[in-house]
Amino acid sequence: MSREVWSAAQALAVAFTLVANLSRGFPIVSLAAALAVAGLLYRAWAKAGRPRGIRNVAAEAEIE
């Protein structure tokens, strides 16, 4: 599967999730929780030095 097709499929999954969350009773709480989780994951990624992929992480671990 090409990268563009995969990206489009992911964008559709995100759009579906947003529509589903907004149609429920507590969309703001659900979106706030999703943003909080995304923020925590971003902070962990940035703290780890923003690795590009598992191959790079494994290579860096062997150097140390």
Q: What is the pLDDT of residues 3-60, one digit of tens each?
A: 888 899 999 999 998 888 778 767 778 778 889 999 999 998 888 887 676 666 666 6
> What six digits make up the tokens of 43?
């902070």
Residue 18, pLDDT score: 83
Determine the residue type at 28: I
Residue 63, pLDDT score: 63
Q: How confident is the model at residue 62 (pLDDT cuts 50, 70, 90)?
A: low
Whole-structure pTM value: 0.45
Distances (CA, A) of 13 to 17, 29, 42: 6, 19, 20
